[in-house]
Structure 1
Amino acid sequence: MKNKSIFLLVLTLFVIALAACSASGAESSSSESNASESNANSNSNEVIDIVWYPNESGNDMKASRDEIGAIITEVTGKEVEHHLTTDYAIAIETLINNNADLAFMGAVGYVEAKNGNDAIEPVVVPSGASGTLDDAIYHSWLAVDVDKQDDFKVDGEFSLDTLVDKRMSFVSNSSTSGFVVPTSTIIDYFADSSDYGDLTPEDLMEGGSLFSQVLFGNSHQGSAVNLINGNADVAAFCDNCVENYVEAADGEENTVGTVYRVKEGAAEPFNNVIGEEFILISVTPVLNAPIAANLEVLGEEDFKKIQDALASDATANNEEVFVPEDSDASGLFYKTDQERFIPVEDAWFNPIRELSN
């Protein structure tokens, strides 16, 4: 099957049976530092270090980060330090190199980390609205300026043929939904083309092979702003990472042709583009991102305590962790129905491994 976006969904159905649930409860306090600074306490038995991707390092995510840290402190009795980053590679290498106990990372980042250090294992992933792994997905978008949408249509329908010679913005080459999934979709689309049938992910990392120019936003928010500011014609980013800042203005969420608008009061980096709009030309489902652990640093005992606490009903009902969808508060995770954390095994990420190979 050439279309790997479909392949991803099919394989997901085969691997969801590998996951299992656990339960327990918790809450308390935490502290923050920057991952670019040296971490003298990274291997301390009294400190648990969590590294965060750029997407989750903003001030508007602080309450959610702190609450997760409080839960971990409650069940382990250990201080939590939050390492905030501005680069995907830094976050991944911090976990690989035994300088962090835990990380919240995309599925591709997890696979890269696992390849670099076999001691790394998934702790939990957020479920879908059903409270199960059946719908534990989010969405990778390709978006364009709403006023230029006709430039991306053939015979009145959006077409990836129109990407040729456009300025493209990705997130990071380690981003699941901001690079690996969209490039896979693009490569599959052009597979039978005489001009572009031999494209590789490396070709799409720079201008010349398909795009006239390639930018990297270093976060999903950054990639979106590259589009909105006019620095890119097309941008890849995900729904979850921008849901605090944008809202559907016309159409059904996560549907090709839906227009999104930057919300009033949106935090940085969207605060200077309030009211600007973009439209989706491609939408692809992606496996949810895990909280992962380095067992060599964290240890099996604390791993189990943390897994049980995060998968508990208490955490599922904690509005600082799973923010109610009608709340004005920003958060890492949202509660629309039965969302919760669910433990998974490494094999759950095999569909992502297939895309990455």
Structure 2
Amino acid sequence: MKNKSIFLLVLTIFLVILAACGEGGAEEKTDASGSDSGSSNSDDVINIVWYPNESGNDLKASRDEIGAIIEEATGKTVEHQLTTDYAIAIETLVNNNAALAFMGAVGYIEAKNGNDSIEPVVVQSGASGTLDDAIYYSWLAVDVDAQDDFKIDGEFSLDTLEDKRMSFVSNSSTSGFVVPSSTIIDYFADSSDYSDLTPEDLMEGGSLFSQVLFGNSHQGSAVNLINGNADVAAFCDGCVENYVEVAEGEENTAGAVYRVIEGAAEPFNTVEGEEFILMSVTPVLNAPIAANLEVIGEEDFKKVQEALASDDTANNEGIFVPEDSEEKGLFSKSDQERFVPVEDDWFNPIRELSNK
């Protein structure tokens, strides 16, 4: 009788666990490491993996809008996979554990190198509605109160970076590592002390920098600066635009001062009102939504591309949020911004930087 009771107890626990696992799947999946342990690759599900920059709760509504467009276009269920690490997001797409990903140009190139079935779907256009001005900006920023430490004869100079504490985003980040590191290496190419700098040298202290941190997101890199953990930080304009405002000067120009807005979402909620200043600004090609054709298939690829590039999507204020709106979104709209189809070779300028 005792053995029978134990058996019934174990059976009951098993059934409870089984029932919990069988309940409706979550629209967004993640775990502590950002891995794809909960992802599904069935024929009626399309998985989208997101970088850490776009995985915050404040951008959930925008992610949902994109998911809804893809669901309507394909008749399939979209599941969003959130991550805390660039490498995990890239490998998830490469290893056929996701159909789509929104990723930087360098991340796309790395993914393409790892799996030739990966192709760009669309990129955000510029204000013209075309690829002609489809750019955003990579920043090097410093504490506004320490700006004189980064100037020579009253002008910002990269010469002042020596022995500073540096924060990058990730070595797979286009605007948070590859572009600024290339800029720094090119600048010091004629220097007697630093002419042989490599990207690997800039990933750790002891060469040019005294210490190197990685924020794992653009937001994280910015907060490394604002919290005083770094003297200089690399991050991009678009990834922090929901949290900061121009306090002085012209946006996206060296010398512009930015202030963290009141009521900013995490991780900026603890640094409201703090300011930083831009010492260097470099234009960068816009980031693609990329697809793994092995997973999504040609037919759904075309459906998704057509739907994302449509006028309806361009006019969806949940995705392209008007500049004067108080809502937060993945993209802002000042004029004719929209998604535009793009080919692999459009990313060749970034590919050349990555191969230096």
Answer whether TM exceeds 0.5 for this pair: yes
Deviations 1:77-106 (A, max 9, x none): 100000000000000000000000000000
Deviations 1:49-97 (A, max 9, x none): 0000000000000000000000000010100000000000000000000
> What does 1:292-303 align with in structure 2 at a 5 Å threshold?
292-303=290-301
Q: Distance in 1 between matches of 2:282 and 2:213?
A: 21
Q: Alignment partner of 2:269: what SS?
A: coil
Deviations 1:116-138 (A, max 9, x none): 00000000000001111111000
1:31 to partner: Cα distance: 1.4
Identify the match of residue 214 of structure 1 among 212, 215, 218.
Answer: 212
Residue 36 of structure 2 contacts residue 97 of structure 2 at CA under 8 Å; is this kept in 1?
Answer: no
Residue aligning to 1:326: 324
Identify the match of residue 261 of structure 2 among 248, 260, 263.
Answer: 263
Q: TM-score, normalised by structure 1?
A: 0.91
Counterpart AA for 2:106: V
Q: TM-score, normalised by structure 2?
A: 0.91
Residue aligning to 1:41: 40
2:242 is aligned with 1:282: no
Residue aligning to 2:28: 32
Q: Distance in 1 between matches of 2:77 and 2:148?
A: 54
Q: Distance in 2 between matches of 1:350 and 1:300?
A: 24
Residue aligning to 1:313: 311
1:41 to partner: Cα distance: 1.8
Q: Alignment partner of 2:316: what SS?
A: coil
Residue aligning to 1:335: 333
Gaps of 5+ in 2: 1-25
1:38 to partner: Cα distance: 1.5
Q: Distance in 2 between matches of 1:321 and 1:277?
A: 28
Residue 39 of structure 1 contacts residue 99 of structure 1 at CA under 8 Å; is this kept in 2?
Answer: no
Residue aligning to 1:5: none
Counterpart AA for 1:254: N
Residue aligning to 1:91: 89
Residue aligning to 1:22: none
Higher relative contact order (Cα pairs below 8 Å, separated by 6+ residues): 1
Identify the match of residue 139 of structure 2 among 123, 138, 141.
Answer: 141
Residue 29 of structure 2 contacts residue 39 of structure 2 at CA under 8 Å; is this kept in 1?
Answer: no
Q: Alignment partner of 2:349: what SS?
A: helix
Counterpart AA for 1:309: A
Residue 260 of structure 2 contacts residue 273 of structure 2 at CA under 8 Å; is this kept in 1?
Answer: yes
How big is the alpha-carbon RMSD for the aligned residues of Structure 1 and Structure 2?
0.8
Q: Distance in 2 between matches of 1:345 and 1:314?
A: 22
Provide the identity percentage: 84
Residue aligning to 1:7: none
Q: Distance in 2 between matches of 1:337 and 1:330?
A: 17
Q: Distance in 2 between matches of 1:162 and 1:309?
A: 48
Q: Distance in 2 between matches of 1:111 and 1:182?
A: 17
Q: Alignment partner of 1:138: what SS?
A: strand
Deviations 1:316-341 (A, max 9, x none): 00111111111111100111100000
Counterpart AA for 2:344: D
1:37 to partner: Cα distance: 4.2
**Structure 1 runs of 4+ off > 4 angstroms?**
none
Gaps of 5+ in 1: 1-29
Q: Distance in 1 between matches of 2:179 and 2:208?
A: 17
Counterpart AA for 1:333: F
Counterpart AA for 2:196: D
Counterpart AA for 2:159: D
Counterpart AA for 2:172: S
Residue 170 of structure 2 contacts residue 215 of structure 2 at CA under 8 Å; is this kept in 1?
Answer: yes
Q: Distance in 2 between matches of 1:49 and 1:331?
A: 20
Identify the match of residue 180 of structure 2 among 179, 182, 191.
Answer: 182
Structure possessing the higher radius of gyration over alpha carbons: 2
> What does 1:68-147 align with in structure 2 at a 5 Å threshold?
68-147=66-145
Q: Distance in 1 between matches of 2:313 and 2:349?
A: 28
Deviations 1:234-272 (A, max 9, x none): 000000000000011000000000000001110000000
Residue 29 of structure 2 contacts residue 38 of structure 2 at CA under 8 Å; is this kept in 1?
Answer: no
